[in-house]
Structure 1
Amino acid sequence: MSPFEFPRSLIATALAHAQSESPCESCGLMVRAAGELVYRPCRNLAEGQAHFHMAPEDFARAEAEGEVVAVVHSHPNASPEPSEADRVMCERWGLPWLIVNVPVGHWQVLHPSGYRPPLVGREFSHGVLDCFSLIRDYYRETLGLELPDFERPDDWWAKGGNLYLEGYEKAGFVDVTGSPLRQHDVLLMQLRAKVPNHAGVYLGADVVLHHLQASLSKRETYSGFWAKVTRKVVRHHSLC
């Protein structure tokens, strides 16, 4: 779908919705219903202003109405140029993304193109490009292993969540804490929280690959600080 296939009237409707939701991001869907293309605004359940989490019920309602042909969201006070998280999510949805800017009114269409973010130097976006996403991508690209994904609410570790300790066995890992480290081991770390809330992959030779909030993913020396904050080491059962 080229940008010109979106009727200007629908883009104007999406822009009006975006303006009404600013400074938070708006989100919606383009739906082909009874042969007509319509825009359906959806609720953004994200707690912050820098991303969106579309209400599943709103998507289901739109899907029941007709064919969902595009995802729409806004970049308030920012260029409609897609972020790295936009590119990743566009691939996951397998649909064009119409990104609109308010208050200026610029817009851009992003199409799925097979984009895969680099393991080193990727931007951070919680739930899309974060420490767990990096582990999943590393295992897929390096070992050909597909790890399950888990819903990760914003600041889950401050709201009674304990996702890493409760989830590592479900993801196929076993506890090897205290054993000599091996390449591909996952290090569960605790940073200013009551539970482990960060993780990285041990690459061997005293190097950890990880992704901190508000930073690019990187390789760092493991011994020292990162070793001190590690609470558990887990290993995928296929590597034991």
Structure 2
Amino acid sequence: MLAAFAFDHGLNDRWRAAVDAHKAHAAEAWPQEAGGVIDQEGRYHACSSIAADKIAHFEIHEDEMEAVCGHRPAAILHSHCSSEDEQGKIVPPQDCPSAQDMRSQMDWAVPWGISLVTEGGATDPFWFGDQVERPALLGRSFRHGVDDCYSLVRDWHRQVAGIEIPDFVREPDWWAPHEGEPPLDLYAQGFEQAGFVRVDRGRDSILAGDCFICSVRSPVLNHAGVYIGGGLILHHLAGMCSARDPAAVWRPKLDFLVRHRDLPEDFVCSEL
């Protein structure tokens, strides 16, 4: 059985009977993905998949969703499954949302849960979406598309500065080149759309709220963080917990700075 997740959003306990029903459904369907919806009364309804590839994807027809729970579900659940590669090696289930998962969650705007399923059973789901309680800024575990460096930048602006910035649909390895396709450059292409403008400052003149964008083992910019004052940055590296680090350690990478257009330059950052 896979390990439990670090942050408890409270939804697994709130919908315990529905979650357990989903886990049983997902375990029975393995190695195919399975899913369903939780209605406004907290009941789980298993749904059939209309995905062309039911091993790698799950998709619910809107008509079935409306038939089982009305116009708007309280939450949507599905599974990611372990698989076997061409050499017979077991590939663990993807423990983060795909770009399509993120897109669908944004479209429905309800909590979205994903259980990880192996031959041994299903985990409690992890939850994501702006309708789901967020963990503390410091010490959160890493999950791409849920709790990653961009998620931390978004949450800092919402919780500390009172500024909403949009989320962006992204695959777990969006910065990696794929055969026949160039790597995406989401930070360079998206920071203006998110409300940021580039600022030119000396490395010793950084202001609280300035955000750095840099490259970490990537051909494109793929990491970001926030300068929070006192010589510290707040950021979240893959495979680690979100943390405050000395800005001096990252100073060689701090020459690409952006700042949200709605954040005044005299903003005073509250202590984290």
Structure 1: give runs of 5+ residues left out of the alignment: 46-51, 77-82
Q: Which residue pairs with 1:177 in the alignment?
A: 200
Which residue among 37, 47, 57 is the counterpart of 1:30? 37
Number of residue pairs matched by the alignment:
211
C-alpha distance in 2 between matches for 1:15 and 1:125 = 23
State whether residues 37 and 65 of structure 2, in contact with CA within 8 Å, keep that contact through their aligned partners in structure 1: no
Cα root mean square deviation, aligned: 3.9
Q: Distance in 2 between matches of 1:44 and 1:118?
A: 39
Q: Which residue of 1 aligns with 2:169?
A: 151
Percent identity of paired positions between Structure 1 and Structure 2: 29
User: Which one of 231, 239, 244 corresponds to residue 219 of structure 1?
Assistant: 244
Superposition TM-score, scaled by structure 2 size: 0.63
Structure 1: 4+ residue segments shifted above 2 A? 1-8, 10-14, 36-45, 57-70, 72-76, 92-95, 97-116, 177-180
- Hey, what's the Cα distance between the residues in 1 that align with 2:143 and 2:79? 16
**Residues 31-54 of structure 1 deviation map (CA, whole Å, 9 limit, x = unaligned):** 77xxx9443347599xxxxxx9x6
Query: What is the CA distance between 1:156 and its match in structure 2?
Result: 1.4
Change (3 A) 1:110 1:161: closer
- Distance 1:108-1:176 versus aligned 2 partners, 3 A rule: closer
Q: Report what 2:65 is aligned to.
A: 63
In 2, Cα distance between equivalents of 1:39 and 1:143:
41
One-letter amino acid of the counterpart of residue 103, structure 1: E
Q: Which residue of 2 is the match for residue 206 of structure 1?
A: 231
- CA separation of 1:61/1:211 partners in 2, compared to 1, >3 Å: closer, same or farther? farther
Deviation at 1:147, TM superposition (A): 0.5
More strand by share: 1
- Counterpart of 1:197, as a letter, is N
Question: More helix per residue: 1 or 2?
Answer: 1
Which has the larger displacement, 191-200 or 140-149?
Answer: 191-200
Report the CA distance shift for 1:62/1:210 in structure 2 as closer, same or farther (over 3 A).
farther
| Displacement after TM superposition at 1:108 (Å) | 5.0
Q: Does 1:20 align with 2:31?
A: yes
* Aligned twin of 2:155: 137
- Change over 3 Å in CA distance of 1:40–1:237 after alignment to 2: same
C-alpha change, 1:232 and 1:59, in structure 2 (3 Å) is farther
| CA distance in 2: counterparts of 1:7 and 1:222, whole angstroms | 45
Following TM superposition, by how much is the alpha carbon of 1:7 offset from its aligned partner in structure 2, in angstroms?
9.5
The two structures have a TM-score, normalised by structure 1, of: 0.70
